[in-house]
Copies of this chain bind each other. A is one copy, B any other.
């Protein structure tokens, strides 16, 4: 299992940030040639509209990279992922970390929580495609 985070400096212009995200995702897709890319659905209502809009820019270039490499994109609602991993659509970040740790038999909970969230998405996508979560 490989995990990672693509980070960009908040003070870079948006076009530079989306390019870094695109290049990072494209490299992952090129390296691992996955069958599936799982993304979190954007809520239609956000408490932080500015954050949601920034995330949607990133999401746009991630979808583009997937499409260009012919990788299927699956978008899952956060509540759906929480139910699959922690049997509770309103599970906390800590519950997701514990659930992911248990399902993958990891010695420690994945940190930062972004990585647990990504693994939770991947596991739920795997399960949707017929894989079995223990």
Contacts and interface: CB of A to CB of B under 8 A. Distances in A.
A131 interface: no
Nearest to A48: B44
Q: Is the interface of A mostly helix, strand, loop or mixed?
A: helix
A116 to B, nearest CB: 24
Contact of A50 (B18, B19, B44, B75): B44
A59 B15 CA distance: 9
B18 A68 contact: no
Interface residues of A, number: 29
Given A44-B53, A49-B49, A57-B63, 10 more contacts: A14-B63, A15-B63, A15-B73, A22-B64, A45-B49, A46-B49, A49-B52, A53-B53, A58-B60, A60-B60
